[in-house]
Structure 1
Amino acid sequence: MPRLFWKFFTTIWLTLAATIAVIIVIVNLFQAVPFGRELELRQQEFVLNLTATVLTMDGEDAAARFVRTSEGTLPLGLTISMATESGACADENTAETRSILKDGICYRISVSGKASVVLDYLALLMPWIAIFVSSTISAAALARYLIRPVVHLRDGLSALAHGRFDVRIGDKMAGRTDEVTALAHDFDSSAARLQELQDSQQRLFHDVSHELRSPLSRLQAVVGVLRQSPAKLGAMLDRMDREVERLDALVGEVLTLARLTARSSLPLKTQTLDVVELLNEILGDAAFEAQARDVSITTSVDGVFLADVEGELIYRALENVVRNAVKYTAEHSRISVLCETTADLLKIRVTDQGPGVMRDELERIFQPFSRGKDAVPRGGYGLGLAIARQAVERHGGRVYASLPDTGGLAITIELPRKPTAHGPASNQG
């Protein structure tokens, strides 16, 4: 059962046990029985009624013997006497007296209570006082136990509402190990994720601005040259076309990444495709482009893997990984592509012979506009691997990078036959 349940259960149980213990201690200390006064009054009433019955039925001697026996067994101050006052038998009976008319004689039967009034009231109030005190203590303890983390959670949520995503409350739980602590750690994870998204968004804005500024600056330079030398119109128009194409390509990739991010919670529009056949088409095109740098590449892989995928997304993912390898591999080198299939999973590994990346950059290269520190710029904007990861993870697969022993960089794609609701929790190289 949940830990919080057991803490509440234990607190309430200990409260009841402490209440009973307090009552027992007070009884033994003051010899005061709870509800003892009521018990004594009932005993007096019973003895008075019984004595009156004996007197009425058996006479004075039998009643006197009963009084002696009763006092020897349970002393209540029971006495029987003949009333001398006139009209005594006409008086109403009280809790401590009975008036009986027998053979023309008025008898007065009475008891004398010996209990202390203070002890009587103590005995009467003792259970309620013990319950009140113990309940107050336990309620205060439970309230304090619950309110403190709730206050921390409220402060944390208030900080998030004001855009402060660096707040953390897990370390304020003072060693607790219950559901409230789990909630606090979930809050910390959510805050960390929001901070990561905010940082990623700010970085994306910065990188997009930076990437847009370069072709725009070159276009401005072209315009300046044309104003100074109109005769260079032909060459400058060609240069402007290239810069416009770069801008169009950049905007297209940014829009693709934005669509993938925005549609991450929407269902996929899947169709059954042979992913291996799709890969072979991409490899054929990549081999033609690789000839310019004297790079050889695996042009075909064997096998069939029919999967329910959104074709455009998977095509972009495979194409970006393969083209990234062609772009960064060394000249006169080779790119190997291997496929492994199981009943429900396709594993594609693309290995180049380029400069690779540092081990601590294996995850960073999947972030938008990120490249390895030692990577030589060869066109592109550092969005290819980010798009590939988003596309594959939308299908419940994963993409990760590793460093082969022979050098270079290996990108591995794991694609399930049936898409799942969520991608993997983490990617490992």
Structure 2
Amino acid sequence: MRSYTLKLFWWFWLTAAVAVVASHMIGKLAEEEQFRNRGETLREIAALYGEKAVSILDRSGSGAALDYVTGLQRTIRITGFLFDENGKEMFGQPVPDYIRAILAEARKKNGPAGSFERGRPLFAVPLESRPGYIFAGALPNLFRERTSAATFYRLFTAVLAAAFLSWILAVRLTRPLKGLGKTMRKFAAGALDAREERAARRKDDIGALARDFNAMAARIEELLKGQRRLLADVSHELRSPLTRLGVALELARRHIPEEASGEYERMENELARMNTLIGSLLQLSRLDALDRPENRQTMDLSALLGEIAEDGEFEGAPHGRGVSADILPGVSYSGDPALLRSAVENLVRNALRYSPEGETVDVSLALQDGKVRILVEDRGPGVPDEELEHIFTPFHRVEQARERTLPDEGCGLGLAIAGRAAALHGGTVTARNRPEGGLAVEILLPEDRPEKD
């Protein structure tokens, strides 16, 4: 049982039910104890009934006396037996063994005797009006008699009331925690301005927890926004000097000897990599500042992926790598074409970068459970399972287990950009290792956006 509300409910209800039943039992036991302690009074009452039975026997005979004794059984549930001095039952009734036992005890004591049989008080009292005669029997057990259907219904009603109150209490205790959990999930999903205001107004421990979360969230938001601003500002400031450096290199190349052209080419390549890195940083910073695609429009997603596959085939051909496309035709989607192109291109280029020579990268588009599914698979070395959830983090690298097979080293931002682009469209990006080897990266876009022509 995973729900904290249900756990609290069961514990509260069990505690209340045990308390109700225990209280009832303790009360009944106290009543029975009092009943046991009133044995002398009960024997005196029994002696009065015995004297009455003897009186009727003397006046009207054994038949009338038997009617009186059986009447006691019917009306007040007292079972009675009248014994003479020889131990003979005067009315011819069958006598249980426990009655003969209490009778023997009374004769032995030469006085009244009492005990209990299955909770029923037993009595045997000598009769003053007829020496040697003893009236014996069993009184009703008030404790047992009161444990009736009405008592059961009262207990059942009390337990049901306890269940109702326990559920209300459990819901009231867990509702602010659920609200706080929902806010935490929004914050974890990227809504850095998410705060739990309602629970924070409480004066208890839950309110303190909500206020601590709000303070933590505000600090994290401040740090992350500062980091993003720093990356964006640094990237923007580097763009201009790098552009001037590129122009200067191009001008200098015209005046260098032929034997130095290799060094200048290396500098130009490194300059191009820096420009690519800065462009990716600026793009990621821009995406982080958005909460929805900037340029949403209906596009032919099938045609877009076909173009990306063709471009990937062109880029991989010089290095002996290809791109295979299995694209469902006629799938349209409302989104940002440039953003989705960038996301899928980054996945394809990343797959080409790690694919062995002579292998093919598979790109597919399908509709799955009402969602658009874009899948990019390579046949490279894959990624350690413990790293799969981290590869969409900016600058995260898994160099030890996944070595590049192309000279392009990338900048560690392509998967992060792909993940952010999918999130802006309300989708997800996941990665898994293929059983036959290689990495499969899947983009799932929500079902309320795509349409099939």
* TM-score, with length taken from structure 1: 0.47
